[in-house]
Amino acid sequence: MRVFRFLKSINEELVIVVALAVFFLMPHVLRRIDPTAGAYDAGVLQVISVAVITFCAFKSFTWFILRVIWPSIRLYFENQFVSDFNALTIWQKVRISITIYFFLFLSLVLLFKAI
């Protein structure tokens, strides 16, 4: 239990460390799948892994910046947002959920385009 609490308290830093580890280990994994793959090539598998790592790092940096610059909004998101969201009508929940989903999907598409 104590380990999970510790990991939850450092979740931004942990995601960045895991993303860096995946980035540096990915060439070895890709060479096992495709022996002709370069260390850091522009192949399909490398692009997907870099985009996912970039997305996770961006999310982690965003929460870290929120913690440093605007801690009250972060505390609201962590503690009170769920109860406020549950108090909405079903149509408001659907609209918010679909908007957030498409925003995240668009972000991922733009990350793929940038890479």
DSSP assignment of 14-55 = HHHHHHHHHHHHHHHHHHHH-TT--TT---HHHHHHHHHHHH
pLDDT single digits (tens) 57-73:
777 777 777 778 888 88
C-alpha 69/C-alpha 12 separation (Å) is 15
Give 26-52 pLDDT, tens digit per residue: 778 777 877 776 666 656 667 777 777
Contact criterion met (CB below 8 Å) for 112 and 51: yes
Which helix or strand (DSSP H or E) is residue 76 part of?
A: none
The reported pLDDT for the residue numbered 91 is 92
Query: Of 19, 16, 35, 17, nearest to 27 (Cα)?
Result: 35
Q: Give this prediction's pTM.
A: 0.55
